[in-house]
Amino acid sequence: MRAVDIIKKKRDGIHLRKEEINFLIKGCSSDVIPDYQIAAFLMATYFRGMSYEEVASFTLAMANSGKIADLSSIKGVKIDKHSTGGVADTTTLIVCPLVAACGVPIAKMSGRGLGHTGGTLDKLESIPGMRVSLPLEEFVDIANTIGISIIGQTEDLVPADKKFYALRDVTATVDSIPLIASSIMSKKIAGGSDGIVLDVKVGDGAFMKDVDEAVKLAKTMVNIGESAGKKTVAVITDMNQPLGQAIGNSLEVMEACEALKGRGNRDLMEVCFALGSLMSILAGVAKDREEALDLLRDALNSGRGMIKLKQMVMAQGGDVNALEDYSLLPQARFKYELKAKADGYVSKMAAERLGICAMKLGAGREKKEDRIDLSAGIFLNKKVGEHVNKGENIATLYGNDEKRLQEVLPEAEASIKISGQKESKRKLVYGIVRKDGIEMF
């Protein structure tokens, strides 16, 4: 078997056998197949695509290129949750403690932010002392003891994906549904959970700009998960404006704490309940959406969700006092309030542009090796459809570099539009994709 023959078959649109895909992944992982041939394969895949069978084989081969986390000693049905990336998307820090408080074990491996989208690990690391790099044994023990643990992906998890991901970035092959789906799902499968709920974002601030394309990606990932023996469901959610109000790491921790204290932004909580209900149903603690929502609301109103977050933070070395006294979280030296220049209604908040503004303030990374400022970001005092008076504060920008703050201001102002007419409320949840069909709302 030769790599060049596999590349030629994919170039010509001929179905690849499982053995050929395994050969390619093994050769990539061991550096036997050179980068230029992997790059050629990626470009051929970009144009020719993959069948569901090919994507499933490709994903499993990548998952098996490293260690598979063994979570079998954790009692109960373990459910993972993954977002394809958005702006002000603080759902993991809210929904995972709530679901854990309902009796669903959460042993989750998360990633860092890149570009205009935030990363759960960066948010958690804004809590003083919080450890997100744990030995697998300690990770499993914490999840077993308190019901929830969130850590970073270990180095030996899906090494093939690291190689493919790096090459996709420099060969203009990032936006390929088979390659996106296999990259995400190989890590989810290797993560060891029994079920997966996928939050597929669509709109201005998401990778997928079109609902049909988002559904296609969701279907591909659900099929992969089910083929691997994982209960998998996907939710298509809106990202045409930032989901919550906070964009930035310590700001999002504050927002998550406020949400778990019953003071959450309505849009953010709607998506959290949509995801949490599906996680509870997959785990078998609720038979339907109504029962799941009752459980989640009880976990929220009783404060048990907040208790779970505190237990996890304490178990992983974090200062739980920072979850009550926000002054203990990283604080920016400078801030600037964006004031409304006229009366009216907020008609647009460009999610991607605002995410990029937060990144430029220091809250995100342009490259993986960039250091971030955990205190930087933007807090939105208004959302689309809300009324503002002239001079009222629409958003507050936070940063530690005053020059950079001044440079970002014009772009942030241009990202928010005010008009005399109130915009109709957009759908937040477009639909649910399951193995047996698609339910659009």
Provide the annotated active-site residues.
Answer: 82, 161, 168, 183, 187
Maximum CA pair distance of the chain?
70
- Integer angstrom CA distances of residue 184 from 59, 78, 171, 254: 9, 18, 19, 28
With contact defined as beta carbons under 8 Å apart, do 20 and 6 qualify?
Answer: yes
Q: Which of 151, 157, 6, 136 is nearest to 71 (CA)?
A: 136
- Cβ neighbours of residue 258 under 8 Å, at least 6 residues apart? 264
Which letter does DSSP use for residue 131 in this model? -
- Integer angstrom CA distances of residue 381 from 281, 385, 387, 399: 34, 12, 11, 17
d(CA 5, CA 127): 51
φ, ψ for residue 10, nearest 5 deg:
-65, -40
Q: Which of 263, 262, 268 is nearest to 302 (CA)?
A: 262
User: Which class for 304: exposed (0-12), middle (13-18), buried (19 or more C-beta within 10 A)?
Assistant: middle
The amino acid that residue 437 corresponds to is G
Question: What strands, in cross-sheet order, belong to the sheet with 231-238?
Answer: 79-83, 195-202, 231-238, 429-434, 437-440
- 108 Rama class: left (phi>0) / alpha (psi -120 to 50) / beta: beta
Q: How many residues are there in the chain?
A: 441
With contact defined as beta carbons under 8 Å apart, do 10 and 48 qualify?
Answer: yes
